[in-house]
Amino acid sequence: MGHDDFATEPVPGLPERPPKDEAILWQGRPDAWALAREALAIRPVAAYFAVLALWRGIVAGDEGGFVAGLAGASWYVAIGVVACGLLYAVAWAQARASLYTITNKRVAMRVGAALTVTFNLPYSQIETAGLALGKGGTGSIALKLKGANTVSYLILWPHVRPWRIAKTEPTLRAIPDAAKVARILAEAAESRLAMPVVTTKQGARPRAAAAFAAE
């Protein structure tokens, strides 16, 4: 399911050129600010340092006046700005390095700012897809895999559903216009899984199989 992708991509987001019967339906990447907000908790971190700065400013102000209070609070403000800046830088690097692809056969996820890896998820391996819609239409689509199919939580992070560690759920994280993307995914999966598979037994005529599958 995984492919270390160091070579030049023949098609952006895919480790190899897709076959002629495979069509790319959508490609996109996370929104950096939404990724920082949802995956890296930039707002709680900012709030934490704001409370610390306020507390330190009040304590220092009681002891040495307004100037002392302002000086005491400024240290925590500076540290908070640096911390939030680092979190946003990580989110920006992850968003820039990532590219999600939906085709008529699979979902492909090229992820990793330091180590680039492409995960190919055929629709036959996906049990369900869940949409979590946020403000402004940005949202995430979590993919629950069937049976023993699994991927590494650490390698895939932050492109995962939070806290699903034992059974990792790959997630198209913080994507703009997520509802539209979810419809594209649902229609592609439904169309692919509804295709009958024709099997041939030795010495028998070909016939339509009773089960349906993709890939």
- In tens digits, what is the pLDDT along the chain, a chain of 215 residues? 554 444 566 788 888 888 899 999 999 999 999 999 999 999 999 999 999 988 888 877 777 666 667 777 888 899 999 999 999 999 999 999 999 999 999 999 999 877 888 999 999 999 999 999 988 899 999 999 998 777 889 889 999 999 888 889 999 999 999 999 999 999 999 888 766 545 445 444 433 333 333 33
Q: Where are the domains of the chain?
A: 2-28+104-199, 36-93
Give the per-residue pLDDT at 1. 54
HSE, side-chain direction, 13 A CA sphere, residue 113? 14
Q: For the chain, report the end-to-end CA distance as a whole number of angstroms.
A: 13
Tokens 């028998």 label which residue?
204
Give the per-residue pLDDT at 204. 42
Domain 2-28+104-199 has CATH 3.40.1350: no
Mapping DSSP to helix (H, G, I), strand (E, B) and coil, where does residue 152 land? coil
Give the per-residue pLDDT at 196. 55
Query: What are the Cα distances from residue 19, in Å, to 12, 24, 65, 139?
Result: 15, 11, 72, 30
Note whether 40 and 85 are within 8 A (CB): no
